[in-house]
Structure 1
Amino acid sequence: MAIGFDYGTANCSVAHLNNGSVEQIPLVGDNCYIASTLCAPTAETVSEYLFRCLDIRPSNDIGESVLRRAVKMNREEGIEVIPSDVLFGEQALNLYLEDPKDVYYIKSPKSFLGAMGLRDMQLSFFEDLVCAMMSNVKRKAEANLERTIEQTVIGRPVNFLGRGGDASNFQAEGILLRAANRAGFKDVEFQYEPVAAGLEFESTLTENKNVLVVDIGGGTTDCSYIQMGPSWVGKDDRQQSLIAHTGQLVGGNDLDIYIAFRRFMHAFGMGTKRLSGLDIPVTQFWNPIAINDVQAQRKFYAHDNLKELRLLAKEALEPEKVNRLIALHQETLGYAVIREAEKAKIALEENAEYKAMLDLYSEHVGIEINQSDMAAAIDNPTKKIQALVKEAAQQAGTLPDVIYMTGGSARSSVLRKAVQDVLPNIPVVSGNYFGSVTAGLARWADVCFR
Structure 2
Amino acid sequence: MFAGFDYGSSNCAIGVWQQNQVNLVPLEGKSHYIPSTLYALHPSLIVSQVHQNISSDVLKQDYQKSRQALLNSLPLVKSNLDLRDDECKIHLGREAIEEYIACPEEGHFVKSPKSFFGAVGLKQQQLDFFEDIACAMIMTLKQRAETYLDAELNHTVIGRPVNFQAIGGEKSNQQALTILSNAAVRAGFKNVDFLYEPLAAGIDFESRLETDKTVLVVDIGGGTTDCSLVKMGPSYRNNNDRQKDFLAHTGKRIGGNDLDINLAYHGLMPLFGSNTTLKSGIPMPNQPFWNACKINDVILQSEFYSSKNQRALSDFVLEVSEPLKFKRLLNLQRNKQGHQLVRTAELAKISLSSENEYLADLGFVENGLNHYIAQEQLASAIDSCITQVIHLVIDAIKQGGCQPDVIYLTGGSAQSPLIKAALKNALGDIPMLNGDHFGSVTAGLTKWAKQLFS
Judge same fold: TM > 0.5, yes or no: yes
Aligned to 1:278: 282
Aligned to 2:333: 329
Amino acid in the other structure paired with 1:221? T
Aligned-partner SS, 2:358: strand
1:9 matched to 2:9 = yes
Q: How does 1:41-440 map to 2 (within 5 A)?
A: 41-52=41-52, 57=60, 59=63, 62-68=66-72, 73-79=77-83, 82=86, 85-440=89-444
Task: Kindly report the root-mean-square deviation, in angstroms, between the aligned alpha carbons of the 2 structures.
Answer: 1.7
Deviation at 1:75, TM superposition (A): 5.0
Q: Is the 8 A contact 1:155 1:190 kept in 2?
A: yes
Change beyond 3 A, Cα 1:243–1:81: farther
Deviation at 1:231, TM superposition (A): 1.1
In 1, the alpha carbon distance for the partners of 2:414 and 2:379 equals: 14
Deviations 1:299-348 (A, max 9, x none): 10010000111111111110001100011011100000011001001111
1:448 matched to 2:436 = no
Amino acid in the other structure paired with 2:45? T
Aligned-partner SS, 2:369: strand
Give the alignment's TM-score, normalised by structure 1: 0.96
In 2, the alpha carbon distance for the partners of 1:60 and 1:228 equals: 47
In 1, the alpha carbon distance for the partners of 2:362 and 2:323 equals: 18
Aligned-partner SS, 1:106: strand
Deviation at 1:359, TM superposition (A): 2.5
Give the alignment's TM-score, normalised by structure 2: 0.95
Q: Is the 8 A contact 1:63 1:125 kept in 2?
A: no
How many residues get paired? 450
Deviation at 1:82, TM superposition (A): 4.0
Q: Is the 8 A contact 2:54 2:186 kept in 1?
A: no
Aligned to 1:31: 31
Change beyond 3 A, Cα 1:71–1:186: farther
In 1, the alpha carbon distance for the partners of 2:411 and 2:340 equals: 23
Q: Is the 8 A contact 2:328 2:365 kept in 1?
A: no
Structure 1 unpaired stretches of 5+: none
In 2, the alpha carbon distance for the partners of 1:60 and 1:116 equals: 27
Q: Is the 8 A contact 2:249 2:396 kept in 1?
A: yes
In 2, the alpha carbon distance for the partners of 1:375 and 1:222 equals: 21
Deviation at 1:162, TM superposition (A): 1.9
In 1, the alpha carbon distance for the partners of 2:288 and 2:101 equals: 22
Deviation at 1:84, TM superposition (A): 5.8
Change beyond 3 A, Cα 1:243–1:16: same
Deviations 1:185-210 (A, max 9, x none): 11100000000000000000011100
Aligned-partner SS, 1:100: coil
In 2, the alpha carbon distance for the partners of 1:338 and 1:367 equals: 14
In 2, the alpha carbon distance for the partners of 1:83 and 1:139 equals: 20
Amino acid in the other structure paired with 1:220? T
Change beyond 3 A, Cα 1:388–1:361: closer
Amino acid in the other structure paired with 2:245? S
Deviation at 1:243, TM superposition (A): 0.5
Deviations 1:391-410 (A, max 9, x none): 00010111000000000110
In 2, the alpha carbon distance for the partners of 1:115 and 1:67 equals: 26
Aligned-partner SS, 2:362: strand
In 2, the alpha carbon distance for the partners of 1:60 and 1:390 equals: 48
Q: Is the 8 A contact 1:49 1:82 kept in 2?
A: no
Q: Is the 8 A contact 1:63 1:121 kept in 2?
A: no
Structure 2 unpaired stretches of 5+: none
Amino acid in the other structure paired with 1:371? Q
Q: Percent identity?
A: 43
In 2, the alpha carbon distance for the partners of 1:84 and 1:227 equals: 50
Amino acid in the other structure paired with 1:185? F
